[in-house]
Amino acid sequence: MKKAVIAALALLVGASAVARADQVVVLNSEEASYSILSRGARAETQRLPLGREPHHLIETPDGKELLIASTVTNELVALDTKTGERKRTIRGIIDAYQLGFSPDGKWFVTAAYRLDHVDIYRYDGNFKLAGRIFIDGMPSHMAFDNDSKTVFVTLQQSGKVVAFDLETQLIKWNVEVGKAPAGVVMLPDNKRLLVALTGEDSFVTLDPKDGSVTGRLKTGKGAHNFFPKGDGRHWFLSNRVEGTVSLIDTKDMQVVSTIRIPGGPDCMDITPDGKELWVTQRFLRRIAIVDLATMKISGSVATGKSPHGVYILKVPALPPASPLLRAASTDPAPK
């Protein structure tokens, strides 16, 4: 009898752990909250308060924590990447709209979109500010070179991209590239930097040595944010105004597929099995689920107002089940 009780408790604990791991975290940037979604049930299970204006998030180099930046309250909230549970709060990280780690995990950088500065921290599990560089133009997104020597930051208002030396915190170059540059990625060859132009309908290719524009590819109005497909060659790009996501072959530099996603597609993540792409819909209070085999939307889930960053816990999903809580309103956001 005792053994049976212990076994039953073990099963319950195991099921609870799997349920927690079956989570998608979505930041509701205009609602001071984040949603916890069930991948298996395709429903919102919780909506939790979080500072003010949470926009972006990133996994720590050791893969143990998910850092959510609460922009206006100047703090990072750390979640457990396996369970989604809150672990700690790091205060004094000023206006962290966007955030990123260098490939070697030794540098942590934030872009203060509202206050116009870029902060460079030395990172060893703790955050030590190495330099704060004030620069006009609304610092937005960032990418690092593969050698962890340089960080590239887009300036949406001024239409420029700026390169900072991580060790010295000095500007290497600062060049104009087009209207409202946003998402930026360094390709695996370390020779090409892709920059999405949200004020236009294209992305441009830059030479990371000096910022010179070496190419351009049209994708759709409001080209905004990149996400890797995972093969080192193909990248997704959300076109927020056009209402599409483009799949780009970065070797041949062409659009190989276009997915129609209404409501301002923005940030993205891919499920661990590589079968689904989840895309936040900023203007619909929803997140779209794309079947990558057909390149079409297979479903969507209601979230809070202006969903922005998204992170999928990297474990198998639960089978479909009834939602724990009623989903949020699906009325379009006024913004």
Asked, for residue 180, whether it belongs to a domain, the answer is yes
Report pLDDT digits (tens) over 178-208: 999 999 999 999 999 999 999 999 999 999 9
Domain span at residue 256 reads: 23-312
CA–CA gap between residue 240 and residue 265 (Å, rounded): 5
Name the least confident of 10-14, 16-20, 46-50, 164-168.
10-14
Q: Does the structure show a pLDDT above 80 at 106?
A: yes
Could you tell me the CATH number of the domain that includes residue 123?
2.130.10.10
Domain assignment present for residue 82? The answer is yes
User: What is the model's pLDDT at position 83?
Assistant: 87
- Predicted pLDDT at 9: 36
pLDDT of amino acid 6: 41
Residue found under tokens 């930046």: 69
- Predicted confidence at residue 320, as pLDDT, reads 47
306 inside domain: yes
How many structural domains are present in the chain? 1
The answer to whether position 296 is within a domain reads: yes
Q: At 89, is the pLDDT very low, low, confident or very high (cuts 50, 70, 90)?
A: very high
| Mean pLDDT value of segment 317-334 | 38
Q: Is residue 331 part of a domain?
A: no
Is the residue at 335 inside a domain?
no
pLDDT greater than 60 at residue 97: yes
Verdict on whether the full-model pTM lies above 0.85: yes
Residue 12 lies in a domain: no
Q: Residue 186: inside a domain, yes or no?
A: yes
At 127-176, the pLDDT tens digits run 999 999 999 999 999 999 999 999 999 999 999 999 999 999 999 999 99
Task: Report residue 22's pLDDT band, with 50, 70 and 90 as the boundaries.
Answer: confident
What pLDDT was estimated at residue 218?
Answer: 98
**Is the confidence at residue 316, as pLDDT, over 60?**
no
| pLDDT band of 330, cuts 50, 70, 90 | very low
